[in-house]
Amino acid sequence: MKGHRIVLSFFVTLVALWGVAPATAHAQLPGCSVADFVLLGERAQYDVAANNSIFLKTRVVSGRSYHVMAWGPFGGGTNGEDDIDISVGLFTDATCTTPAQTVSTTAFEPEPNAPGHVGAQASLIPTATGPLYIQVHNNTASAAPLQAIIVETTLFSPWWFTGGTNQAFIEVTNNMDTATTAVVTVRKADGSTCGTSNVPLAAGGNAAVSVKALGTCANASGSAQIAFNGTPGGLTANTTTIDGIQGTSFDSPFVPRMTWSLLAR
């Protein structure tokens, strides 16, 4: 019996160590044209020479929202972790000369910054479906291992209904300490867009949108999407369908299409 417990303890220890093991740092690539593919939610780590860049690529979908974050888990110089300075650029071509559109570099919380550590982030609502190239530049005067991740932040609600005496409202709140805009897209049951609305949100603020008042969304049913510039979890939203005559209501919460991932290359 003791032998079995020892074997079990050994494997539990191995699993625990495997789960906390840092990602392997890969060699720096020479340019944008040979950018490494990175899966959404995959944490990539590279050893980057002083004043040099790594290049990553992935695929994004028009109208959805994404957030890129880069940081240095270990410092490259004499000050340890307090010796990191990173910047991020987003491009749509393999030469990294055409900047992506609808990009925000606002320092949304949680920021990858602390005294002596200057991480970087960028949010994106693509105007076209296709490749996205990410440049992560080491501005530090010495080589350092840099990590980067891109996460989709789009929110989706599966149902609303505006037929008869029903009203539908999309309620959204900004959980961040920085203002942003919720880009609301409302679709009918066949997937066609019936209305859109850009909803400014103050830090910690909220707003409600009447679905029936948007475009051709009256007397119909469907789903809704919210894209925004900000970090994952930055917005919380809900759709409420209510019939004031019948005294009935139904909530259809928004959920992210993907969440933070622990994938490591």
80 domain-assigned: yes
132 domain-assigned: yes
Calpha distance 145→46 (Å, rounded): 5
Domain count, the chain: 2
Are 97 and 187 within one domain? no
DSSP reduced 3-state for 81: coil
- Quick one: 127 exposed, middle or buried, by C-beta within 10 A (0-12, 13-18, 19+)? exposed
Please give the full DSSP string across 131-196, using - where no structure is assigned: EEEEEEEE-SSS-EEEEEEEEE--EEEEEEE-STTEEEEEEEEE-SSS-EEEEEEEEETTS-EEEE
262 domain-assigned: no
Are 176 and 250 within one domain? yes
Q: Can you give the CATH number for the domain in which 215 is found?
A: 2.60.290.11
Report whether 62 contacts 129 (CB < 8 A): yes
Distance from the Cα of residue 132 to its chain's centroid = 14
Domain that holds residue 27: 23-152
Q: What is the pLDDT along the chain (265 residues), one digit of tens a residue?
A: 444 444 444 334 433 434 444 555 565 556 898 899 999 998 888 888 888 999 999 999 999 999 999 998 776 555 555 578 899 999 999 999 999 988 898 888 888 888 878 889 999 999 999 999 999 999 988 888 889 999 999 999 999 999 999 999 999 999 999 999 999 999 999 999 999 999 999 999 999 999 999 999 999 999 999 999 999 999 999 999 999 888 889 999 999 987 766 566 5
Q: What is the pLDDT of residues 224-263, one digit of tens each?
A: 999 999 999 999 999 999 998 888 899 999 999 877 665 6
Task: Count H helices and E strands in the chain, helices first.
Answer: 1, 21
Q: What is the pLDDT of residues 162-184, one digit of tens each?
A: 999 999 999 999 999 999 999 99
215 domain-assigned: yes
Type and span of the H or E element at 123 = strand 120-124
Are 136 and 47 within one domain? yes
Are 92 and 34 within one domain? yes
185 domain-assigned: yes
Calpha distance 92→90 (Å, rounded): 7
Q: Can you give the CATH number for the domain in which 148 is found?
A: 2.60.120.380
Which of 88, 118, 152 terminates a domain? The answer is 152
Which of 152, 175, 192 terminates a domain? The answer is 152
164 domain-assigned: yes
Are 123 and 229 within one domain? no
Calpha distance 122→138 (Å, rounded): 16
Calpha distance 108→140 (Å, rounded): 23
Residue environment code for 216-247, b if the CB has 16+ CB neighbours within 10 A, otherwise e: ebbebbbbbbbbbbbbbbbbebebbbbeeeee
234 domain-assigned: yes
6 domain-assigned: no
Are 28 and 141 within one domain? yes
Distance from the Cα of residue 258 to its chain's centroid = 9
Are 141 and 201 within one domain? no
Which of 152, 181, 200 terminates a domain? The answer is 152
Are 138 and 56 within one domain? yes
Are 146 and 33 within one domain? yes
Are 166 and 116 within one domain? no
Are 252 and 165 within one domain? yes
Are 64 and 37 within one domain? yes
